[in-house]
Amino acid sequence: RDQRKNAAASYHSGFIMSKPTVVFVLGGPGCGKGTQCSYIVANYGFVHLSAGELLRAEMKSGSKHGAMIAEMIEAGKIVPSEVTVTLLQKAMEQSKSKRFLIDGFPRNAENNDAWTKQMIEKVQLAFVLQLHCSEETMLGRLMHRSETSGRTDDNIASIKKRFATFNTETKPVLESYDKLGKLKTLNAEGTIESVSAGVKQLFDGLQL
């Protein structure tokens, strides 16, 4: 009987350990998410998934799903969170990796609810990384980026709207993860190297 118990416990432990590890990376526009995600990918073997990029790729794929997403966006409608979560799940299942950085998601309570409903039992959420920066610093970075990015939303009016959206919709999600003891906040005001040093400290301590 003890042997059977031990075997069951070992199997259960192995199943839990086999779950993919996920880290959410959140922060205001211009806080340096892309730069730090590149650092984590290069140094810790994570696969970087961007919800926005997955939606754009699905639209270009010519699939029925992609056509539906394109129609919704063209009509000014918000793509349901369940669709975004399904694309994230599909990308994880198609990857050989067991370590994923999910950038810019969950952006709001609806995103988070859909993720919890579909994925909470399927992955191990290590923590939520918040890169914290003042709006003044982020605005300066984005205006500098606008000189070469070609992005239509890199203008002062659009940037201020994005700040407001982050404050009203994403901050409450961060606060909910803080209450769960899952939020890790890094000061992202400094140089790329100083922020990367803080990231290194966090990820060196991650048991994978």
Q: With 60 as the cut, is the pLDDT of residue 157 above it?
A: yes
Give Cα 144 to chain centroid, integer Å: 24
Per-residue pLDDT tens digits for 135-153: 999 999 988 877 777 666 6
- Top pLDDT among 14 and 41 is at 41
What's the rounded Cα separation, in Å, for the pair 106 and 120?
13
What's the rounded Cα separation, in Å, for the pair 21 and 42?
17
Per-residue pLDDT tens digits for 33-91: 999 999 999 999 999 999 888 988 998 888 888 888 888 877 877 789 999 999 999 99
pLDDT score of 3: 52
Task: Give 108's contacts (C-beta < 8 A, 6+ positions apart).
Answer: 169, 170, 173
pLDDT score of 151: 65
3-state secondary structure 110-174: HHHHHHHHHHCCCCEEEEEEEEECCHHHHHHHHHHHHHHHCCCCCCHHHHHHHHHHHHHHHHHHH
Strand-pair category, 99-103 with 21-26:
parallel
Answer for the pair 26, 128: CB distance below 8 angstroms, yes or no.
yes
Query: Which tokens belong to 78?
Result: 């918000």
Tell me the average pLDDT of the chain. Answer: 87
What's the rounded Cα separation, in Å, for the pair 109 and 173?
6
Which pTM does this prediction carry?
Answer: 0.83
| Of 13-22, 133-142, 151-160, 197-206, minimum mean pLDDT range | 13-22
Give the whole-number percent of the chain exceeding pLDDT 70. Answer: 88
pLDDT score of 75: 80
Query: Which tokens belong to 116?
Result: 């919890």
